[in-house]
Amino acid sequence: MAGPPHKKQRREDYRASQREKGGAEMPQKKFYRQRAHANPFSDHSLAYPSTPDNMDWSGYYPEFVVRPQEEEDESQDEPENESVPLDKTAQQDTEDAEVITKNEIAVNPPRMRKQVEVADIGCGFGGLLVALAPVMPDKLLLGLEIRTQVTEYVQDRIRALRAKDPKGNTYQNISCLRANTMKFLPNFFRKWQLSKIFICFPDPHFKARKHKARIVSMTLNSEYAYVLRPGGVVYTITDVEALHEWIVGHFDAHPSFVRVTEEEQEADECVKVMRNETEEGKKVERHRGNKYVALFQRLKDPEW
């Protein structure tokens, strides 16, 4: 008598059944399990754009793609050969918005009506993304996760949530992709593109020789400062006090950031969501552990 099918085969069978159903059912986490740690220094054969201009976001946020009729309307309103912003909202938000000419649009990825503005680094199973979607309905949120199976779970979860809304209006503003942010963050985002970055319950890497793999460091903080616009905020939370002190120490030492006061922190609606809606946060709550929160605001660059 044949034994039970191999775990990998069960997972493949489950995924196939999900595809047959059109991805309308919420995925079961047990078919997407993967070890908690991934080596950020390994070659994971990741796909990433050479520059942010080469990134095609249309498959991640299909409802925000500029439609042909919108292109036609713009062509009638704008003088010929005049530069057209990639994202008019982003142009208003930052003086650093880049432009392309109309003649270049055809050879670039589909244009988007909005740019990604909020990044959840190491998004895990997507609890924060899903909870923040209705809180920031006018912003595009992106989860970045290095683990293959976990990324696929979040993508299937978002697909199922979208399918539950017959009008197709909810959860269109969130998505997830597989990425190693320690290596490729500037490949996805332009200078000053983001307004919020979330770093929730990152791997503590307790051993001293592993500290170089921590997601917060002076070098990485400079990359966060590059993609985060002045006035933007980095949100951090951990249940490891030593890691919290490490995070605070490295952001305090960086000239581009200042810590947000506790009063402002507690008044921020996103902090409440971050504390209570991530899978790790819920686990810490069940075990009655502590949660250490710290927010850091991006300062303006010196005029020189």
| 96 is known as an active-site residue | no
| 59 labelled binding-site residue | no
Rounded Cα distance, 259 and 303, in Å: 21
If one counts every other C-beta atom within 10 angstroms of the C-beta of residue 301, the result is: 11
Distance CA 295, CA 89 (A): 25
Q: Which of 53, 165, 203, 301 is catalytic?
A: 203
User: What letter represents residue 117's amino acid?
Assistant: E
Tell me whether residue 279 is annotated as binding: yes
Asked if 58 and 112 touch (Cβ cutoff 8 Å), the reply is yes
Q: Is 180 annotated as a binding residue?
A: yes
219 belongs to an annotated ligand binding site: no
Residue 145 annotated as binding? yes
> DSSP string of 40-77?
TTS-------SSGGG---TTT-GGGBPPHHHHHHHHHH
Q: How far is CA 208 from the centre of its chain?
A: 28
Query: Is 89 marked within a binding site?
Result: no
Rounded CA separation 284/278 (Å): 10
- The answer to the question of whether 94 is labelled as a binding residue is no
Give the full edge-to-edge strand order of the sheet including 257-259. Answer: 174-178, 140-145, 116-121, 194-200, 228-238, 292-298, 257-259
Binding site for S-adenosyl-L-methionine: which residues? 122, 145-146, 180-181, 200, 278-280
Could you give the residue numbers annotated as active site? 203
Binding-site positions: 122, 145-146, 180-181, 200, 278-280
